[in-house]
Each structure stands twice: as C-alpha cells, then as structure tokens.
Structure 1
Amino acid sequence: MNRILAVVKPTETDLELLEEAGVVAAATGVEVVVLALVSEGSEDVSVDAIRQWDGFDDNTDETAETVHRFAEHLGNQILDPLGVEYLPIGERIETTRPSSKIIDVAENHDCDHVYVTNRGRSPTGKALFGDTAQSVILNFDGFVTVRTV
C-alpha cells in the first residue's frame, strides 16, 4: 500500500471513516491524504457545518481556506494521536458530482486505497443524480472502502 485517500465532510460518520483509515495507515506505515470537498451550490450549508464543527476555530471568509483548515483540523484531531502522517487538502469544486475530483486527487497523490462515505440514496436518487461512492468504485483503479450513512 502506498497512500490512503480519505474523503471527509463534517459528519460523525466521516470522522469514524477517517479513524478507520488512520488505523489501517498506522498498521501499514502509510500516509493519509485527507480530502475535504465543498461543492458549488451547497457551499454555504457545507461551510456553515464546518464552522460549527466542535473544536474547529475559523476566522477566514475564504471558502477554500476554511475547507483546507478543516481537513488539517481533522488530521490533527484523529491522525496525529495514531502517529500517522497526513496531507490535508481542501477544495471547492464546481460540480455536484465530486467523484472525478476524488479520483484525480487519488491518482495525483499515488493513493491506492480510497475511503468514502455513501449517503444512502434510494435507487431513484442514484439514477437521477448519480452516486459518488458508486462512481469511485467503478472508475478508480484501486481499493475502495465505503461506509454507509
């Protein structure tokens, strides 16, 4: 294993997902790339949720900086105690389908395992709007661990 990518949002499930990735990283001696994404159109709600996250202190008006600092905060909170090295990445993306960005980050950082949550959409919702986890599974050339909300 080279490197793990963990995709996180401000939810307890994503926190648990990052911890699972951290335990695997600690056992195998690899680095974790912590990717926090905010999609255009939902950025106000997402950034508000990030700013209200327990223990996170943000004083910037810049969305990209807030998202990056959130990824860094989660790394400090969860991965540092495990002794895991990590690279925080926070991005604002211009699509509601982040799977291509997730795969790009994984490939650009030589990740061979992706951890992502599945928001539990209905089959109709998946057909209409797509499903990020499913798209990552189908298009990423590596292992994918999915945690369902």
Structure 2
Amino acid sequence: MYQVVIGVDDDAEHALACVEAVAELPGDASDKTVTLVHSFTDNPSGASATQIHSVRKAGESLDDHGIDYNVTESSGDPAEVIVEFAEDENADLIVTAGRKRSPAGKALFGSVTQSVILNTDLPVMVSGTTKRASE
C-alpha cells in the first residue's frame, strides 16, 4: 500500500497533474491513500484548505480514480510543512508539481519542489502539468 503526500498550492492544474501521477502508480486504487497538504502563507479570511479550488479539484479527481484521501492544512513555509508532515506520517512518497522557471528565477525566489527534494530522505516524485484539452 502506498501512503502518498501531495503538496497542493493554489494551481489546480498542478494539483491535477499530481493526482494523475499517483493514479498511474502500480497497483489498484485501493492500494493507495493520499493526503493533500495545503500550507497557507497568508490567510486573513480564515479559509480552510477544503475551500481552496485546487484542493477541491484534486479531491474530486481522487474520488474519480477511487483513491481514498484526506486533507490537512497548516501555515508557514510550504516545503517545510510538506516534508514535516510526510516524515511524521511515515509516507512512502511525496508528490509535488514542477514549474518552468528560469535559472535566475530559481536562484532569486527559491522553489518549494527544490526545497522538498533537498530536505527529505523520502522519495519525491515531481509531476509535470496536465495537458489542456486544446493541446
């Protein structure tokens, strides 16, 4: 059985790409359990993770694939939250979405995915983005 942690930001396309990557892992849907982790860096309205569009879309897609999941939320640095949660829960795999960024953009602004990869001993899968219907 796979215990997978998916880091979900505000981009639904990235979240859906992560779900597709998990759905394509070997084994049946019943062999996979996913935790969607969303970290708020700013949440003045007090929203919950289940109110975030990307989290809802990921949950709907996991339902469509028949994969059990739960949602957790936190605040703070997203990479730290994802790594800490995955390690505390003894996850088998962390899944994040990659972004196309210039080398200068990566150096200046960092990358959640890069930080996750560098700060955990757990396997990390980096998904691309889903293809739009027009592509």
TM range (shorter): 0.7 to 0.9
Secondary structure in 2 matching 1:24 = coil
Which runs of no fewer than 5 residues in structure 2 stay unpaired?
A: 130-135
* Superposed structure 1 runs of 4+ greater than 4 Å apart: none
1:3-42 mapped onto 2 (5 Å cutoff): 3-9=3-9, 10-24=11-25, 27=28, 29-40=31-42
Higher helix share: 1
Matched residues in 1 for 2:41 and 2:93: separation?
A: 23
Corresponding pairs, count: 126
Which runs of no fewer than 5 residues in structure 1 stay unpaired?
A: 45-60
The two structures, once aligned, show a CA RMSD in angstroms of: 2.6
Q: TM-score, normalised by structure 1?
A: 0.69
Whether contact under 8 Å (2:16, 2:58) holds in the other structure is no
One-letter code of the match for 2:76?
E
Q: TM-score, normalised by structure 2?
A: 0.75
One-letter code of the match for 1:12?
E
The percentage of aligned residue pairs carrying the same residue is 27
Q: Cα–Cα, structure 1 residues 16 and 148, in superposed 2: closer, same or farther, change >3 Å?
A: closer
One-letter code of the match for 1:20?
A
Partner of 2:132: none
Whether contact under 8 Å (1:8, 1:15) holds in the other structure is no
Partner of 1:85: 68
